[in-house]
Structure formats: structure tokens, C-alpha cells
Structure 1
Amino acid sequence: MPQFDILDKVALVTGGASGLGFLYAINLLEEGARGVTLADIDKVAGAKALEEIEKKYGANKAIFVYCNVERKSDFEDAFVKTIEKFQNIDILINNAGILNDHVYEKEIAINVNGVAYGVILGLDKYIPQYKSGPEGLIVNISSIAGVSPLAMIPIYVGTKFAVHGMTLSWGDSYHYNRTKVRVVGVCPGVTDTPLIQLMSGRNLGPVYQECLKDLRNYPVQAPGQMANRMIQIIKNAPSGTMWIVEGNSLPFKFELPNYQKMKRVYLEEDQ
């Protein structure tokens, strides 16, 4: 598979005004992207991010669009404004997400519905029509919680498993052949961001808090490490694949077993 060339491409990053989303946008510009859209609900962070980008990369390299990914209309507006500004859209990074089982209805709306809206709009409408080269790309951000159970945050885990499943399904060769848009997934390990730093109390109650210590079993990485690995994945990951990034390691592929071929352990019948 030829490497995806970021040069002169246009990207839309949800949750792009700060944190990892902003780092993804910066790294894309470093790789020669023509423009990035920072789609976020934080207007103050968005203004600061644009100022920082303009100082480093010059004018007209980025726009901020208010976007609550819980609303499909907001997401579509982000696509429309990206195309109005840059005439193209090549890359979508579905990055926006929250970790807070205490408000699980909102968590599901952002983490699951938000990704679904992005892929439906990107894959079936905008990227095939407005991509500037032969191939487009959608990157869905899942989590280590999308491949491994965590007792303290079961609903968050469920949302990230959902992202995992959507990525494998939309990344199937059937969808790639009809759209020429790769769909890949990234599972960041424990990353030193506010999502983790402010995790205490963001669960279903004290009995869930007791097993928070289980996170100590996972290697921790800095945000910059994660963002740098993202570029490797954007350039090289085949459609329908999931990549774990944790600690200081290179991205490594996660594959589900084929249930039709796996050894079966049957539940015994009552005697």
C-alpha cells in the first residue's frame, strides 16, 4: 500500500482546540497540510489555538468552527465551512470525546453518536466528493478501553468498544472500494491529559472508584508521544485496522480473533 501523503491535504479535527486534538492539527501542519479545521465547543481555546497557529505557520492555515458533535447539524456545518475555506476535505480525525460515566447519556452521545455522525458525513457525503487526491482518510479515536475491560468505567469502555466496532465495519474493503476513503482506528493507552488527570469521581459512585488503582498497571505516555505516532498511522495504516499506542512503543496492530475459527469453550448443560 503506498504511503498517504499529507502534503497539501486538508483536515478536520474534532476536539481540535486543545489537548491531543490540537497536537494532531499541529503535526499535520508540520507535515505540510494545506489547512486544518479545529472543530470544538471551546471558543476561548479555539481563539488561542488559531493565534498560535498563525504565529507559527502564517495566515489562512486554520479555522475554528464551533461544533458540538452531539448534533449532526453542527458536524455537517464543520464540513461545509471547511470546504468553503479550503475547497477540499481529505482527512477527518474523530477525536472529540469525554470520560465521565457519571453523565453517561452525554458520554454516549459524544463518544458514540459523534463518531457515527462524522463517519456517515465524511464517508458517504463529503470526503469522496471533495478529497484533493486519490484517497481520503478517517481516523477514529478509540482507546485502550476499546480493547480491554476496565471495571471502574464500564460505560466509557462500552463507548470505545463501539468506536472499535464501527471502525472495523466501515473500514471493510467494501466501503473502501466504493469511496476510496480509508477508515482506521487508534487506541491510545493511558496518556497524561486532563481526561486522565481529572478522572477521579467521574464514575458511577464510590464502589467504582475503589478499582481506579487498576490503571496503574498500564504504561503512561506523554501527549506529544501519542501525537507523533498518529502521523505514522495516518501515513501507513490500512483501512479497517486498529492500532494501540502506549508508553514509548511504536504503534502495534490489535486484531480480534475470528470467532468462527477460535477454539470453542461450551457452557455445559444442566445435569
Structure 2
Amino acid sequence: MSLNDKSVVVTGGASGIGLEVCKRLLESDAKGVAIIDILENVDGIGQLRSTYPEKNILFIKADVADKTAIDEAYEEITKSFEYLDIVVNVAGIFNDLDVSRTIGVNIGGIINSTFAAMNYMSKEKGGRGGIIANMSSVVGLDPLFLMPVYTSTKQAIVGFTRSLANEIYFEKAGIKFIILCPGATITQLFTNFTEKIIFPDMGDVAYRVLDRLHKQSPADVSKCILSAIEQCENGSIWIIENKQLHPIKMTRYWTSIEEKFAFFKMNFLFRSLLQPSALQAVNRFVRSGNDLMSSMRNLSYYVKFGCPCSQMKKMLKQSADRIPKGPKDCKRDLIKISAPKKVIKPSDVDVYKKAVPRYGLSSSADIKLIQKWQKRMNKRINRPKKALKLRGSNAAITGGFGSIGKAACISMLERGIASLGILDIRENKSLLEALRRRYPEKQIYYQPIDVTNRYSVAEAFNVVGDKVKNLDVFINSSGVLCDGCPEKTIGVNLLGTVYTTLAAMERMGRHNGGKGGTIVNIASVLGLVPCNAFAIYSSSKHGQVGFTRSLADDFYFKRTGVKLMLVCPGMTNTDLTQDPEGSTTFPYAAILGRHLVTAESQSAEICAENMVRAMEKNKNGSVWILDVGKYYEVRPVQYWIPVYNESNNSPDGVKNVN
């Protein structure tokens, strides 16, 4: 996409990376630039206006976390610009001590600016389409233990933007979405960094790690950003590291709604191509909920059908046009036949040998860095696990009166826990009394809680502390699905998870007089893969995944003795899924919501039982998918390896501080 004669909006454009992006845009003959920022850099903006007097340079002071202010800002911008062509959302902060503000600016600001821009850019509303580039970070791809709250917001941005990069949305609005993930960059983010981390006493650790990271300048990052915009591939993700731009492809951990829909198309094709025995095998495979599309690429799968790969390839090419209309990727994936590939584990050295050179490290340091980083990761993955014994333990759960929460309560009580605290915003007296009658020897109590209010969370955990001497297990089950109200969805699902998890760690941690314990955060498979129908919900669940994985680092476990686990249910029959069409991000996404009805689901009781079984594995940092009555662990792929300064290129830098 050419930047010539384009009108651009840059949030956070008054300083740092945002200001450098504005300079590059104007150098590239952009027609005009509108800057939205809460801080007015008089000198920086004045210099832009003096350097480019013929350009339309507009500054609007606004807080991106304030939806009303952003809507008004875009309304004012459209009075000066006839069309909006490009939006670059750069605004962001780091302050893990101020959880609400960090989430509000980093993900709330992205959502507010994106939706406001779409109102004026969408072809459906009289615009001419364009590009929206949302800035995440490399920690939005791989968590960094130093900044769990910041990491959660950046992973939320990745989930949100990927969810919007959908063909249906593009056909309606004509807007492409890209994700920018810079590595460590010299900006105000690092100012007083050690004073903004969640545990102030780890300031020395933070300084030693940050000091070893290779850092790039905002000017270098801005150059890569414009290159990514010019390539303008919808849904693309770009790592900006060591002054270079690297595109990446995300791994799929779960069969998406679109792929399930595509199964019916493939089934149609196989009915006309395969023998009855093969057709039965395909049908069994589809019903099992496995990823048929991935297995079809394996040559051995075709051999099982007694059909040589060359013959299958020929038949598929001849019959591709017979597939009914559906997802565009369906036909492409069907005719791409390849030999079986080696299964590569996350700990494989080959993965790092391929990854390291693209970040520009010297060859003499490559092998040492690979071996040290691999050793640290393997140590965490392969540490002997001690099974969690629930009998006689004390447990608490938020959202305990919900579908999965209620079933989890019963499952834990059946395993002999001594006490159960149910924390929920509203009391279900009939259920509470039923549990007490069924388990009279157990201590079962209720405490009201608003997970979006940190004072309410603190009060609830004080009550838990009064009820039991030690809290052994805490489950985060609160959640809502309401994309029409982003503030509520992000607040309950992400902000609530952060508040309650940190409160539970303080109550359970050895550093604070506790005995340690286990925290289980319930996310969703939509926190591992994007969901076009529910972009806000998917964003909040991506944030939960990033936050939990950050806190599951060895550094925190050695300090607190608290293990963190993540469970990701698939399609489950709960109150959240009763009205999928009415909860979508946009009205015209209702067709995507309706696909949920066709997906194979599981009951809340089975989901909860499998969650407790996974919890009993007691594996710190583990991620479990609970889908179609089964549970299994997934190991997220590592997309980014920290680049250290060559003068201090000790790859065990993180290891040493642990």
C-alpha cells in the first residue's frame, strides 16, 4: 500500500515510537497526520509543523482509555480529513502496580480507537477502507515474568486484532488489520521501570535482566512499522527486533469454528471419492473433534485409506470445484498435499537454530544461547511433579454459582476437601443450602465479591483468611460473554483475573507466611486461537493466558510456592452460550455466532471434572484444553528469544537471577 496522499491517525504520537512514526509518514508524502495523545509535546509537534508546513498536522489531547473522548477526537479529525486511510495505535504504558490503568490504556485504548476508526473508515459507512495497525509487543507473543500485567494486555491486543482480521469483516468494511510486536525499545517505558513492577523487592532482578537486553531506537522501529504497513497483509503479525522486520505465523492449538464448518465440506468431497470403509473412518474422525485438516496433510493418513498420495492429489485437484461454498482456506488446504513432516517439540534445538539467526545474533553466540535457553526451558518443563491431593485441603472459587463453577465445587467436595469458599457477585441460597445438606461435615461458606473492584477482592480474601488458616486451592471461574459491552467483558474476564490471582498469591504465598498452593485460572480455547465472532471475549481470554503464564515462572514459584495452571474449555453448555448470536462483536457477525450451534459441545459437569483432573496433575505453568469430554496439555510455541547485548551476551542472564 502506498502512503502517498494518505490521511493517518496515530495514537500516542506525541513522543517515542509514535512521534517517529509520524515523522516517517510525513517523509513518505502522507497527506496529513492526526496525533491523539494525553500528553502534549509542544516542541516535538512544533518541529513537525515547521518541517512540513504544507502538511495537515493535527493534535488532539485525549485519553485513549476514555471512550467518549476518543469518539469526540475522531469526530473532530474527520472535520479536517475527508477520509481516514490508516490508523496506527501506538499508545501504551507500563505500570504493573496500577492494574486498572494499564489494562484501560493498553487494551481498552486499542479497542476504543479501533472501533471509533472503523465508524469512519468502513466502506459500509461511506469510508474507503484502509489499514489499522495495532501495536502489541514481543511479550504479547511470549510472556515475560518481569511484567505479567503488561504482558496480559499485549497478548489481549494480539487476540483482539487477529479476531478482526476476518474475510467477512474485510468484505463488509474493507479494512485490513496488522499486529506490530517490537522488542525492547528505548522509550519512556523503561523510565523508573523497577518502581512499577508488582513485587518491589525484585527491582535488582529486573534491572539485571533489562540491562542485558539488546535495545533498539524508536526510529529503527518506526522504519519497520511503515514497511509492514506498505506490505499490508490482513492479519499479519510482525516482530520488530534488532532493527529488522520478521513476519510470523501463529500455531493453531484448537480446531476453530470455521474449520469445524469446513469438515462438512470435506466430508462431502470424501463421499464421492472414497470407499465405504474410508468414509466411515473419516466420519469417526470428524465426530472425535480432532483436527482433520492437519491430519490430511500427513502422507500416512492417505496410505491408511489405501489411496496413494499421487492419486489422492490428482483426485482432489479434479474434484476441488465440487466443494460447496464455504471458508476460502478449505479448497486451498485440500489440494496442498505434502509428505509427513517431522514432529518438532518446543524443546528441540533445531527450533532455536532456525529462530536465532533471524534476530541477527553473531554465529559464535548462537549455539551457546540455544543450549542455555533450552536448558532453562527443559528444566521448567521436566521438573518432577507432585500430584495435588485435594482431600483435607481448603479451597475457594470465584463464580462458584455459575455452570462450570458449581460443577467444580461438587467435584472437589466429592474428593474430600475440608472447606469451600464460594465467592460470587450474587448469592444462590438454594444451591448453597443444597450443598450444605449434601456435605454436612464440610465447611461451605459464601462471600460476595465484585472481581472488578480491588477493594471488594481484598475484603473477600480477608474473609477467606478468617475462615481458614491456609488456603490451598483457588479457582478463578468468573466470566462474561458480552462483546457489546467491552468494558464489562475486559473488566470481569481480565481485570478480575488479575486482581483475584494477585490477592490469592498474597494469601497463599510462603513469602507472606502461607504454605503455598495452586491457582487455576479458567480461560478458554478462544484464548489460544482468535474468534472472529467474539473479538472482545477472545481478547480478554488471550490476556488471561498471558498473565497466568507470566506468573507461572520459576522466579515466582521459588518466592511464593504457588503454582499456576491454565485451563481452556472448548464449547461448553453454560449460560454464556445461550445467546451466541446476540453477543457477537458486530451485528453482521451473527452468522459466525450461529456456527457455535453446530460445534460439538460438552456438559459443564464433564468440563469441571476434567478441570479437576488436570488440576490434580499439579504442573506449574501447564496449559490444558478441555474439549468434547477430553482434556490434554498443550505447550505453547515460543516465537521470540530475547536478544542480549554482545558485550554481555550471557544467555543464562534470566537463569542466574532465578
TM-score, normalised with respect to structure 2: 0.38
SS in 2 for 1:175: helix
Distance 2:243 2:148 in 1: 27
Residue 51 (structure 1) aligned to one of 46, 70, 76: 46
- CA drift at 1:18: 1.2
- 1:158 and 2:165 are equivalent in the alignment: no
Provide the residue aligned with 1:21 in structure 2. 18
Distance 1:198 1:106 in 2: 17
Letter in 1 for 2:85: D
The answer to whether the Cα contact below 8 Å between 2:64 and 2:105 also exists between their aligned partners in 1 is yes
Equivalent residue runs for 1:127-146 within 5 Å? 127-128=121-122, 129=125, 131=127, 135-146=129-140
Provide the residue aligned with 1:236 in structure 2. 231
- 1:192 and 2:189 are equivalent in the alignment: no
- CA drift at 1:217: 5.8
Distance 1:64 1:270 in 2: 55
* Residue range with higher mean Cα deviation, 139-148 or 201-210: 201-210
Residue 42 (structure 1) aligned to one of 12, 21, 39: 39
Letter in 1 for 2:176: R
Provide the residue aligned with 1:89 in structure 2. 84
- 1:9 and 2:3 are equivalent in the alignment: no
- CA drift at 1:196: 2.1
Equivalent residue runs for 1:65-144 within 5 Å? 65-123=60-118, 125-128=119-122, 129=125, 131=127, 135-144=129-138
The answer to whether the Cα contact below 8 Å between 1:14 and 1:95 also exists between their aligned partners in 2 is yes
The answer to whether the Cα contact below 8 Å between 1:190 and 1:196 also exists between their aligned partners in 2 is no
The answer to whether the Cα contact below 8 Å between 2:194 and 2:200 also exists between their aligned partners in 1 is no
- Per-residue displacement from partner, 1:73-118 (whole Å, max 9, x unpaired)? 1111221111111222111111110011011110000001110111
- CA drift at 1:174: 2.1
- CA drift at 1:60: 4.8
Q: Kindly, what percent of the aligned residue pairs are identical?
A: 26
Greater share of residues in helix: 2
SS in 2 for 1:69: coil
Distance 1:90 1:151 in 2: 37
- CA drift at 1:215: 3.7
- Per-residue displacement from partner, 1:213-271 (whole Å, max 9, x unpaired)? 3345643211111011111011103111210001132x11232211135889x987979
The answer to whether the Cα contact below 8 Å between 1:146 and 1:161 also exists between their aligned partners in 2 is yes
- CA drift at 1:54: 1.7
Q: Rate the CA distance shift 1:147–1:210 in 2: closer, same or farther, 3 A.
A: farther
Provide the residue aligned with 1:173 in structure 2. 167
- CA drift at 1:51: 1.5
Letter in 2 for 1:54: R
Q: Rate the CA distance shift 1:50–1:176 in 2: closer, same or farther, 3 A.
A: same
* Residue range with higher mean Cα deviation, 101-110 or 207-216: 207-216
Letter in 2 for 1:100: N
- 1:32 and 2:29 are equivalent in the alignment: yes
Distance 1:140 1:103 in 2: 22
* Residue range with higher mean Cα deviation, 190-199 or 20-29: 190-199
The answer to whether the Cα contact below 8 Å between 2:131 and 2:232 also exists between their aligned partners in 1 is no
Distance 2:93 2:150 in 1: 8
Provide the residue aligned with 2:382 in structure 1. none
- CA drift at 1:59: 4.6
Letter in 1 for 2:183: G
The answer to whether the Cα contact below 8 Å between 2:65 and 2:104 also exists between their aligned partners in 1 is yes
Residue 220 (structure 1) aligned to one of 215, 222, 227: 215
Provide the residue aligned with 1:258 in structure 2. 252
- Per-residue displacement from partner, 1:171-203 (whole Å, max 9, x unpaired)? 122211211111111001000112124312111
- Per-residue displacement from partner, 1:11-67 (whole Å, max 9, x unpaired)? 111111111111111111111111001111113x1x323311121111552011011
Structural RMSD (CA): 2.4
The answer to whether the Cα contact below 8 Å between 2:182 and 2:239 also exists between their aligned partners in 1 is yes
- CA drift at 1:205: 1.9
* Residue range with higher mean Cα deviation, 71-80 or 54-63: 54-63
Distance 2:231 2:192 in 1: 33
- CA drift at 1:207: 4.4
The answer to whether the Cα contact below 8 Å between 2:7 and 2:30 also exists between their aligned partners in 1 is yes
SS in 2 for 1:93: strand
* Residue range with higher mean Cα deviation, 85-94 or 108-117: 85-94
Q: Rate the CA distance shift 1:218–1:167 in 2: closer, same or farther, 3 A.
A: farther
The answer to whether the Cα contact below 8 Å between 1:82 and 1:88 also exists between their aligned partners in 2 is no
Distance 2:3 2:65 in 1: 28
Distance 2:169 2:152 in 1: 24
The answer to whether the Cα contact below 8 Å between 1:87 and 1:130 also exists between their aligned partners in 2 is no
**Structure 1, gaps ≥5 residues long:** none
Letter in 2 for 1:236: Q
Q: Rate the CA distance shift 1:57–1:216 in 2: closer, same or farther, 3 A.
A: same
Distance 1:231 1:130 in 2: 26
Distance 1:42 1:114 in 2: 15
Name the count of aligned residue pairs.
262
Distance 2:77 2:108 in 1: 21
